[in-house]
A and B are shown apart, each in its own frame.
Chain A
């Protein structure tokens, strides 16, 4: 049975040399990681802006951000990706047309990062808003009393003080970002899942390739868990141990 699952011939297909598809998978993994990093970083920026807007913005900004986070978190990523992928590229080309430029072909990598960042931004907004609310109010008031400008306060007080509250949620978001890159296969972007599908379709060794891709994703997750665990411990340095710390 096992030999039927992983026949020696199908395992050879994973090798890096031309008859094997290993190099294709590796390139796919690299593209996936690139998108995940880009989307996560951009999502973090959107989230930071969103959290500040939700907490300190005017009533209109707050309501608009509420609509943004509610809609993005209620509609499937797949639908959002399709909508933004088509509508986004279409809109940019129409704008270019209005201003008299020739339409451009938008790079799949950039579009993928933009779309996923838009989704990540909504979740990051909620995580960071909660984390900023977790900071003891006195710390921010003390900073204000010292006459700190908002930028300095953000850098010296808000961000370091909210990190321990934000890291668990942000760690989760990173894992979601790596897994959500798989959805870009639906719009035909050549990341790991799409590369796997091509390889599996060409060789008919579906089980072997999907298994291999699953293992790659799992490896990314497990490696991330180790790193994120360290980051969380580092961000909690100097904080009193909590009841849940031992778990």
Chain B
């Protein structure tokens, strides 16, 4: 079915939406949305609007920061597993296994409650310049999400690095390129192109992991919806709106990654 979609023209795709059963389904969906708008309670919305916008912004900020930092960590993690000496490859593999083998929620709590409860015992930590940050929640959230993304993506990058044809690297070496130049110009770009489709999925998963930080008192959009629920005793409306917000962000993410994928110069051998 996906092939059929890929080969259709925009006109055919527009006609696809006009098939009789789809028109009926869309009408039912529109009726449901209208029913939700008019019969459910939305009077809390103006009061919490500013907070919600801040929450959405914080979720997106968290997503961008942790994916970028996580990717920067994932590149060496993948690289040393393919080409590094064993004393670098083994810890990298162990790191990826541990991160992928335990729930993110528990990693987050281990860092925030576990480490957070240990830090005050050491005077030199309390006196250091980092202490004002270590008392807040967001460094732990950013760290946990970054490590998680690095763990999953490190595994992907390992496969991507290993998948680049040897001939490409040998050709680069034959040109007399130095190792860093090979990595920068040949190996990393090609591995990145290979990893890109998986990267889309991993980034959507990362977005879906961000609401966990609400459990350590960070105020993202999920935490805002929980607050609305607690303060107004309205259960479904905030949750439905929240689901809609995440659907929208996912849609935008997938769209942006498709644009990026379309820029890949040629099909890889």
The chain A residues found within 8 Å of chain B, CB to CB, are: 4-5, 54, 59-60, 62-64, 71, 73-80, 82-83, 86-87, 90, 175, 179-183, 185-186, 193, 196-197, 200, 204, 206-207, 210-211, 213-214, 217-218, 221-222
Contact = CB atoms under 8 A, between A and B. Distances in A.
Nearest to A58: B21
Nearest to B25: A63
Contacts of B247: 71, 74-75
A147 to B, nearest CB: 28
Nearest to B246: A75
B56 interface: no
B122 to A, nearest CB: 8
**In this complex, which of A74, A182, A186, A217 has the most chain B Cβ atoms within 10 angstroms of its Cβ?**
A74
B208 A76 contact: yes
Interface residues of B, number: 44
Contacts of B25: 60, 63-64
A217 B101 contact: yes
Nearest to A186: B215
Contacts of A80: 243
Interface of chain B: mostly helix, strand, loop or mixed: helix
Interface of B: 1, 19, 21-22, 25, 97-98, 100-107, 109-110, 113-118, 121-122, 204, 207-212, 215, 222, 235-236, 239-240, 242-243, 246-247, 250-251
A46 B107 CA distance: 30
B251 A63 contact: no
B103 A75 contact: no
A49 B25 CA distance: 21
A70 to B, nearest CB: 8
Given A63-B25, A196-B106, A79 B101 contact: no
A224 B109 CA distance: 24
**In this complex, which of A54, A78, A90, A213 has the most chain B Cβ atoms within 10 angstroms of its Cβ?**
A78
A196 B240 CA distance: 30
17 contacts: A4-B118, A60-B21, A74-B246, A75-B250, A76-B207, A76-B211, A76-B246, A77-B208, A175-B100, A182-B105, A186-B105, A193-B109, A204-B117, A206-B116, A207-B114, A211-B110, A221-B102
Contacts of A64: 25
Given A74-B246, A76-B209, A186-B215, A210 B204 contact: no
Given A206-B114, A207-B118, A87 B106 contact: no
A211 B109 CA distance: 10
Contacts of A179: 102-104
Given A59-B19, A75-B243, A210 B211 contact: no
A193 B117 CA distance: 18
A214 B106 contact: yes
A217 B103 contact: yes
B118 A210 contact: no
Contacts of A197: 109
B235 A79 contact: no
A87 B243 CA distance: 14
A4 B121 CA distance: 9
B159 to A, nearest CB: 9
B113 A200 contact: yes
Contacts of B208: 74-78
Contact of B101 (A77, A86, A221): A221
A74 B249 CA distance: 9
A222 B97 CA distance: 9
Nearest to A209: B114
A79 B235 CA distance: 12
B222 A76 contact: yes
Contact of B106 (A54, A71, A213): A213
A20 to B, nearest CB: 18
Contacts of A182: 103, 105-106
A212 to B, nearest CB: 10
Given A4-B121, A78-B212, A79-B222, A210 B246 contact: no
B246 A217 contact: no
Given A76-B246, A78-B222, A217 B106 contact: yes
